[in-house]
Structure 1
Amino acid sequence: MSLLPKLRQLMRKTTSASTVGTRRPTTAARPGDRPHEDALRAMLTDDPNNERAFRALVEIVRQRAASTGHHEDPLAAEHVDESYQDERRRQGDLAVWALAEELAGNPRAWYPLIELARLSIDEDFEGAMRRLATAAERDSSGDGLTAAIVMLRESGHATEASGLGVGHWRPREHTVEAGRQLILAALDAGRLGEAKHHLESLALAADQGAVERITAELRTKIAMSESGVGGGA
Structure 2
Amino acid sequence: MAMMSRLRQLIRRTRSTSTVGVRRPTETRRRGDTVHEDSLRAMLHDDPNDERAFNALADLVRRHASEPDNPDDPLTAEPEEEPIQAGDLALWSLAEELAGHPRAWRPLVELGRLSVNDDPEGAVRRFTTATERDPSGVALAKSLEILRDAHMPVEALGLGIGHWRTREQVPEVGRQLVLAALEADRVFEARQHLEALEAHPDHDQVEAMRHDLVAAIDEAEARQASS
How many Å separate the matches in 2 of 1:6 and 1:85? 12
2:177 alignment counterpart: 182
Comparing 62-71 with 184-193, greater Cα deviation is found at 62-71
2:83 alignment counterpart: 88
2:19 alignment counterpart: none
Q: How does 1:89-168 map to 2 (within 5 A)?
A: 89-168=84-163
Q: 1:10 Cα deviation (Å)?
A: 7.2
Q: Structure 1 regions of 5+ residues with no counterpart? A: 15-22, 72-82
How many Å separate the matches in 1 of 2:187 and 2:104? 33
Alpha-carbon contact 2:2-2:118 (below 8 Å) kept:
no
Change (3 A) 1:50 1:11: farther
1:169 alignment counterpart: 164
Once the two structures are superposed, residues 4-25 of structure 1 have per-residue CA deviations (whole angstroms, 9 ceiling, x without a partner) of 23433677899xxxxxxxx645
Q: 1:161 Cα deviation (Å)?
A: 1.3
Alpha-carbon contact 1:10-1:98 (below 8 Å) kept:
no
1:228 aligned counterpart, secondary structure: helix
Aligned-CA RMSD value: 2.7
Q: 1:70 Cα deviation (Å)?
A: 6.7
Alpha-carbon contact 1:205-1:211 (below 8 Å) kept:
yes
Comparing 209-218 with 111-120, greater Cα deviation is found at 209-218
Alpha-carbon contact 2:109-2:130 (below 8 Å) kept:
yes
Q: 1:48 Cα deviation (Å)?
A: 1.4
Change (3 A) 1:2 1:160: closer
Q: 1:213 Cα deviation (Å)?
A: 2.6
Change (3 A) 1:10 1:86: closer
Q: 1:58 Cα deviation (Å)?
A: 1.3
Q: Percent identity?
A: 50
Q: Structure 2 regions of 5+ residues with no counterpart? A: 16-21, 72-77
2:223 aligned counterpart, secondary structure: coil
Q: 1:182 Cα deviation (Å)?
A: 1.0
How many Å separate the matches in 1 of 2:11 and 2:108? 13
1:67 aligned counterpart, secondary structure: coil
Q: 1:147 Cα deviation (Å)?
A: 0.4
1:227 aligned counterpart, secondary structure: helix
The residue type paired with residue 207 of structure 2 is E
How many Å separate the matches in 2 of 1:225 and 1:11? 46
Asked whether 1:45 is paired with 2:45, we answer: yes
Alpha-carbon contact 1:49-1:111 (below 8 Å) kept:
yes
Comparing 161-170 with 60-69, greater Cα deviation is found at 60-69
How many Å separate the matches in 1 of 2:69 and 2:23? 17
Q: Report the count of equivalent residues.
A: 211
1:61 alignment counterpart: 61
- TM-score computed with the length of structure 2 as normaliser: 0.82
Comparing 61-70 with 95-104, greater Cα deviation is found at 61-70
The residue type paired with residue 194 of structure 2 is L
Once the two structures are superposed, residues 167-191 of structure 1 have per-residue CA deviations (whole angstroms, 9 ceiling, x without a partner) of 1111021111111111111111111
Q: 1:216 Cα deviation (Å)?
A: 2.2
Change (3 A) 1:142 1:135: same
